[in-house]
Amino acid sequence: MGEIVQSVHQELLQTLGRVEGLNAQHRGDVLTLNQVGGGQTSYRITYSRVMSREKAALAIADSNRAGSDQLIVTRKLGASAISELRAAGMSWVELSTGSVRLVGRGLLIDVVRPNPYRGGAPRESVRVRLRGRSGWIAETLLVWPAGRTIKLPELAAEAGVSAGLASRVLKRLADLGVVEVRGAGPHRTWVHVDRGGLLDLWAGEESVEPVTSVGVYLWSRTPRELLTKLVRIGEGDVLWALGGAAAANLHEPLLTVDPTPEVWIQSSFPAESIARQLGGSVVDQGANLHLQQSYQDYPLRHSIEATEVEGLRVVSPARAYVEAATGSGRAADVAQRLRKKVVDARG
């Protein structure tokens, strides 16, 4: 066993040791669980530092081919991967949180633990979580096409952050195996090796909740006509972009009816004045449009013009996925359709 594998096995045994009623042992890459009162289950261990939806699908297929119980051990388990693994009856351990799901003959353990680092992490690790300005870096990397060489000055400039912050984020992503370092010193570059993992990391850490959200009723004969009226926002030199499931559905159409628009508008402009500019009314109930604002206008940096409606702006495909994936109703379906486009982006 290599040093890294040995350390992972030690963390795995420590994590399982906190689950009452289990005695865990391993030999090589086979883990054996002895239950108090009888019963024994063995698993073949598969380790990935970040387990994305795409890697989960590969692990499920590998387990089906092998015909043996498999235990996924990971430091970060994406929310989209969890649904895949649950549906397939897979077992996993997430080392960063201590969450454990074990499925086997006569065995079902499902322990979800809060992140032990929340509120107590070293300042450095908190500073590079993928939200806010650090989230801009993740979004920039996902906006860039797959295969593009990542150079620190270019990344910092396009993300609108300092080179120091970009360097710290890249170091963390390299440690997690999401990007790979090439070269050294001033000529060092990075390349993507797991875009799905980066997308899940960002989706799990970015805060997509608006600081303010104002409900508006704007009369329109159809949902698509409502979208055409939104272009009036830009007439007042206001930065804005359609977000959420409506943006995801424009990037990768799935729904026959456009979802209720959620529009990010520049935080320096009162949402009520934008509503009046559109000819709408602020309402407590019956809104068919939501005007949202965010601290430092994080969602707007990589917004682009939509091709479906002239003058309509939308958030980037990557951000649309992150926002829609946490939405209700059909939003999650739209997000998963868009996900492949983001992960496989070729420019």
Structural domain boundaries of the chain? 3-111, 123-205, 212-343
314 vs 31, residue with greater confidence: 314
Confidence of residue 308 (pLDDT cuts 50, 70, 90): confident
Q: State the pLDDT at residue 4.
A: 52
- How buried is residue 31: exposed, middle or buried, by Cβ count under 10 Å (0-12/13-18/19+)? buried
pLDDT at 116 over 80: no
Q: State the pLDDT at residue 38.
A: 72
CATH number of 3-111: 3.40.1350
Q: State the pLDDT at residue 179.
A: 95
* Integer Cα distance of 225 and 192 in angstroms: 40
Q: Between β-strands 107-111 and 212-217, what pairing exists: parallel, antiparallel or unpaired?
A: unpaired
* Integer Cα distance of 142 and 345 in angstroms: 8
Q: Which fold has domain 123-205?
A: Arc Repressor Mutant, subunit A (1.10.10)
Its pTM stands at 0.87
- Residue pLDDT, tens place only, 51-89: 999 999 999 999 888 877 899 999 999 888 998 999 999
Element at 46 (helix H, strand E) = strand 40-51
Element at 214 (helix H, strand E) = strand 212-217
Cβ(325)–Cβ(80) below 8 Å: yes
Name the residue among 209, 149, 211 with its Cα closest to residue 179: 149
Round the average pLDDT of the chain to a whole number and report it: 88
- Residue pLDDT, tens place only, 219-253: 999 989 999 999 999 887 899 999 999 999 999 99
Q: State the pLDDT at residue 125.
A: 45
CATH number of 212-343: 3.30.460.40
Q: State the pLDDT at residue 127.
A: 53
pLDDT at 273 over 90: yes
**Average of pLDDT values for 21-43?**
83
Q: Is the torsion defined by CA of 218, 222, 224, 229 positive or negative?
A: negative
DSSP code of 72?
Answer: E
pLDDT at 297 over 50: yes
Please report how many Cα atoms fall inside a 13 Å half-sphere around the Cα of residue 180, on the Cβ side.
Answer: 8
